Amino acid sequence: MALFAMGLATAAKAQNSATENTATASAQIVVPITISKGSDLNFGSIVRSAPGGTVVVAPSGTVTPTGVTMFTGSSAVATSAAAYTITGEAGNTYLITLPADNTVVLDDGATHTMKLTAFTHNATGTFGASPETFQVGATLNVGANQVAGNYVSPAFDVTVAYN
């Protein structure tokens, strides 16, 4: 009798089920983002001044000194915005993350430093069918009577991520 009751319970459960077979699974594979540096950010040759000041290199390459003068002699170092070339899935948008203010510090190998602020870029924000090149600029903060020398920063990150 107990076996008969168990058989009825199993049959009752089977009668109370239904199956739907119209669900599908899908996935999209997108091309990975690539980034390569074309040129470094260079603030050029600056004449030391008593008040100090700033040198802004815009993404367009325009240089705007304030409180300091740019040296233009035959041994002057050329200015340039940093340049990067990127690729990604055409039509997708992206975000660029640049260094925060005062996290990139140029030094002369001794104890003298200058900090960068206000990083900017001129990227479009949407991947196209072909690679895109964009530029990065920033503001160099030159101290009062900054010690003469060649100042260089460690490498800094420029990150591109799908939005």
Chain segment 10-64, per-residue pLDDT in tens: 555 557 888 889 999 999 999 999 999 999 999 999 999 999 999 999 999 999 9
| Sign, CA torsion 33/162/123/84 | negative
- The pTM for the full model equals 0.85
What are the two backbone dihedrals, phi and then psi, of residue 12, each rounded to the nearest 5 degrees? -65, -40
pLDDT tens for each residue of 79-131: 999 999 999 999 999 999 999 999 999 999 999 999 999 999 999 999 999 99
CB 147 within 8 A of CB 112: yes
Write out the two tokens for 128: 């196209």
- In residues, how long is the chain? 163
* d(C-alpha 117, C-alpha 137), whole Å: 10
